[in-house]
Amino acid sequence: MKIMVLGAGTMGAGIVQVAAQAGFEVIVRDIKQEFVDNGIKGIDKGLSKMVEKGKMSADDKNAVMARISGTVDMAAAKDVDVVIEAAIENMDIKKAIFKELDEICKPECILASNTSALSITEIGAATKRADRVIGMHFFNPVPAMKLIEIIKGASTSQETFNTIKDLSIKLGKTPVEINEAPGFVVNRLLIPMLNEGMYAVMEGVASPEDVDTSMKLGAGHPMGPLALADMIGLDICLAIMQTLHREFGDDKYRPCPLLVKMVRAGKLGRKTGEGFFKY
């Protein structure tokens, strides 16, 4: 099975690494060669750390890297079996990508999105193969997080679901079956909590450090909500809150004004060097 990943960013690079480590040939496409190169360099760096820690042999690392290729050319999608899209969390961009893939890919190719919260049904409706469109929602950092949410849109076939469930297990993930609803499970529960942490900071209840310390020591979280938001990307967190707010029409999902301001200022967290914390 040949896999293509669209997007060599935070998530795309992690998905490529996991697929290559599981033994699959994987090609990664981004819109600029420098983004492709940076994504592949990041994978190489992560695997080198594992070699240094004695968790992987140098030969195995080289074999994994040999299974990865990169391109800026969408035509590379023509002979793959599964495409996993991890591009920007924007419905119009995702629909345009899926329409283009529908014209390039072979009829039996499955098209999956790693979207955080957007409708698989709506993405599928932009193609002529809605039965073969599905959500494969990985979690950040992809090599470390065991869960994958497999999201069925209204037209996703059982055959497509079964194929992707088998693939997810081969990728070393634990799949859960999600019948499409905004935010699926994890983001519907988790991101509003991060949003409330931002309200606590905005209202002067506590500093970012103390909000995070509170949830780590008081609730046993591995990372504080604000450090986690910085790792996810504040742009992604805002996009998810906006989707939940729009789709449910419930003000409990209103995005924190401080989050909106930080995204407008380009302070997106780790990926820009500053969010609630400096990196």
Ligand X SMILES: NC(=O)C1=CN([C@@H]2O[C@H](COP(=O)(O)OP(=O)(O)OC[C@H]3O[C@@H](n4cnc5c(N)ncnc54)[C@H](O)[C@@H]3O)[C@@H](O)[C@H]2O)C=CC1
Ligand Y SMILES: CC(=O)CC(=O)SCCNC(=O)CCNC(=O)[C@H](O)C(C)(C)COP(=O)(O)OP(=O)(O)OC[C@H]1O[C@@H](n2cnc3c(N)ncnc32)[C@H](O)[C@@H]1OP(=O)(O)O
187 labelled catalytic? yes
DSSP 8-class letter at 256: P
Measured distance CA(247)–CA(181) in Å, rounded? 9
Among 114, 119, 187, 195, the active-site one is 187
- Cα distance from N-terminal residue to C-terminal residue, the chain: 38
195 labelled catalytic? no
What's phi and psi for 186, nearest 5 deg? -60, -50
137 labelled catalytic? yes
Measured distance CA(118)–CA(115) in Å, rounded? 6
> b or e along 122-156 (b: 16 or more beta carbons within 10 Å of the residue's beta carbon)?
bbbbbbebbbbbbbbbbbbebbeeeebbbbbbebb
The one of ligand Y, ligand X, none whose footprint includes residue 192, by CB under 5 to 8 A per kind, is none
Among 85, 113, 114, 149, the active-site one is 149
Q: How many other C-beta atoms are found inside a 10 Å radius of the C-beta of residue 197?
A: 26
Measured distance CA(232)–CA(193) in Å, rounded? 14
Residue 115, helix vs strand vs coil: coil
Backbone φ/ψ region at 183: left (φ over 0), alpha (ψ -120 to 50), beta: left
The one of ligand X, ligand Y, none whose footprint includes residue 187, by CB under 5 to 8 A per kind, is ligand Y
Stretch that binds ligand X, among 48-56, 87-95, 125-133, 157-165 (CB under 6 A): 87-95
* Tokens matching residue 154: 């209204």
Using CB under 6 A, which of 24, 35, 98, 139 touches ligand Y?
A: 139
For ligand Y, give the closer residue by CB, 186 or 258.
Answer: 186
- Residues 7-66 touching ligand Y, rule: CB under 6 A, are 46, 53, 55
46 in contact with ligand X (CB under 6 A): no
116 labelled catalytic? yes
119 in contact with ligand Y (CB under 6 A): no
Annotated binding site for NAD(+): 7-12, 30, 89, 94, 116, 140, 271
93 in contact with ligand Y (CB under 6 A): no
Residue 108 Cβ vs ligand Y, minimum distance, rounded to whole Å: 28
Residue 120 Cβ vs ligand X, minimum distance, rounded to whole Å: 12
Binding site for ligand X (CB under 6 A): 6-12, 29-31, 35, 86-89, 93, 97, 114-116, 138, 140, 232-233, 236
- Which residues have a catalytic role annotated? 116, 137, 149, 187
